[in-house]
Amino acid sequence: MIVISILTGKGRDGNVRIKDRISYNSAEVVQKVEAALDRLKPFQYDSRYKELLGMQLVEKLTYWDQNIRRRKDDPFTLVVCGEFKRGKSSLVNALLMEEVVPVNITTETVTLNRISYGVHKNEAVLSGGRRLTLTDEELCRSSLEKIMEEVGEPIEKLELWRPIDVLKDITVIDTPGLEDSVKDFSSAVADALQQADAVIYVLSVAMPMSKSEMLYLKTSVIPQKYTSLFLAANFSDMMRSEAELSRIRESIKEKLEVMLPDQKIWMVSALDEQCRQREEERPQPSLENFLEGEFNSFRESMLRLIHEKKDHILPDRMNRMIRIMCTDLEDNLSALEQGVCMSGQQIQEAAENILREKENQAQRLEQYCQNLDQLLCEMEQETTGWMGDLILRLEGQADSLSCYSADELSKYYPFFCIDTMQEAITRCVNYHIDKLFDFLDQISSEVSSNLMKGYKQSQYSFRFAITGKTWTKGDSVGFAANALFGGLISVAADGIGGIMRKKEIRDRKPVLIDNIKKQYQILLPSVNRAVAETYAELGKRAKKLLSEYYAEKLGSLQSQVEQSAMVSRADDAKKKEIQAAAEEIRTMMDGIMSTT
């Protein structure tokens, strides 16, 4: 028998308050919830109740009954999330101390991975519930690409079972980055977060807490208030000293001060930990002791949380789901209760109110769209100005390229230029998305929270031809671009030196440099087009979200009025039955709430 004590605080005298010493039996709570759900069964299966309550309410009761019962058998669920290429899968492997999930994947082979305890086995989940058993060798990137090509469709997720001790208590869900996968995983990741009993959010020390990461935390992770959140800053082996890591940690804390004021950040390296486990050479010898200590602390904190929560996670989870169920049923119950009391005249007035509300919503939507167009126009102009400043600066630096050979310039410089344009526009857009979020949030938090779900950064095409060849896609060669927002963007062009070896100047170099200068003027129109298309797409997405929000509100209101009208047309005897059934459901829900 598991008995859990609730100790949440002390009184002014320093002693634990009586109410904080209350204990409850976890198994008993679950049994009471199931017994209460059993009492709702007649409302789901008795044809008389289906007629009285309407199919919509009955279907909701059935859904929640099945969902709550199914989730009670789930183990502690740990969800690992973050943007693409943050080392999430490597971190999972380091935590489990075994190469479980595939790494170095492409956007075509990215999957959601669910890792559970059991006999060693791998299954790929395809559409329609079909499953494909895979060998460990087939989990690698090249094999997955061939498998997807052969079956003619992407893999929805991987189900992996391993006989690892820590998995006896938990299931780990390793999610894909939202913005860079070919398939839209936003709904799958959202479902995983709703199931989460704890979340590990992975970021990179190279780009700590970008605008898009801040927005994702704000809209998708933090609202899951019931979860415990771990923030892991991966790739810490890229830094040279503990002082550098300390500065990055403080920078992250400063950015999160409003959203997560007391959040701890672990500076970890999945690569370093895996090298340590395999007894291989470590990537940053000067940080070996620090990284080992930090990762051990991170793992121990996670395991401690799992140990502390695993015994009472079921009551917590069922309590959460019961509350969501009661909220979901409220509109339907209210519509039934109102219909019992409404006259035909009142129903007619309610229907007329819907028509007026439809007109009002159309006017509000039109005004919001006008305001949105104005905001996006200002954003586009600002980005166009920043990109113009950037191109002028790069053009002005062209003469300094004489220290590099003609071969190096023709081979590498177009890549540098195109990747710089891609990175600069992306950072401008990320800067403005924060403002766009605030605009939508004033209308509805539901709209703003959906802004980043399924959103993908654009891949821009530019023309930059210095040797008769047109480069239309950035292919990173290690150059760094640093965008600073204050009305001007500066780019660290000295990164060229890190990859190019100085060679003897050839006769054609002056011609190439002159050509580079000319290409910047040709480049500017294509950059401006990319900027315009990007903000037009953002506007299209925001307007679609607004339109869907108002349509859903109106549809919900119309559904309630129709349900009330149906009840109002019933005879007095049937109205009494409907009212009695609605009151009975409310009483049962109140009983469930008091139980949890």
> Are 564 and 333 in contact, with CB atoms under 8 Å apart?
no
Contacts of 193 (CB under 8 A, 6+ apart): 79, 81, 199, 220, 221, 224, 227
pLDDT at residue number 225: 62
228-234 vs 121-125, strand pairing mode: unpaired
Weakly modelled stretches of the chain, pLDDT under 70: 1-26, 104-110, 141, 178-186, 224-227, 310-312, 452-508, 594-596
Token pair, residue 490, equals: 């500066």
75-311 CATH fold = Rossmann fold (3.40.50)
**Distances in Å between the alpha carbon of 516 and those of 8, 18, 466?**
66, 77, 6
**Distance between CA atoms of 467 and 474, rounded to whole angstroms?**
17
Give the Cβ contact number of residue 396 at 10 Å: 11
Task: Work out the end-to-end distance of the chain between its first and last CA atoms, rounded to an integer number of angstroms.
Answer: 18
pLDDT of amino acid 461: 56
What are the b/e assignments for 547-563, b being 16+ CB within 10 Å?
eebbeeeeeebbebbbb
Task: CATH 3.40.50.300 in the chain: give the residue spans.
Answer: 75-311
Question: According to the model, what pLDDT value does residue 435 have?
Answer: 86
> What integer pLDDT is reported at residue 462 of this predicted model?
54
Radius of gyration (Cα) for the chain, nearest Å? 29
Q: Name the nearest CA neighbour of 305 among 5, 77, 25.
A: 77
**In the prediction, which pLDDT does 110 show?**
64
pLDDT of residue 500: 32
Query: Global pTM?
Result: 0.65
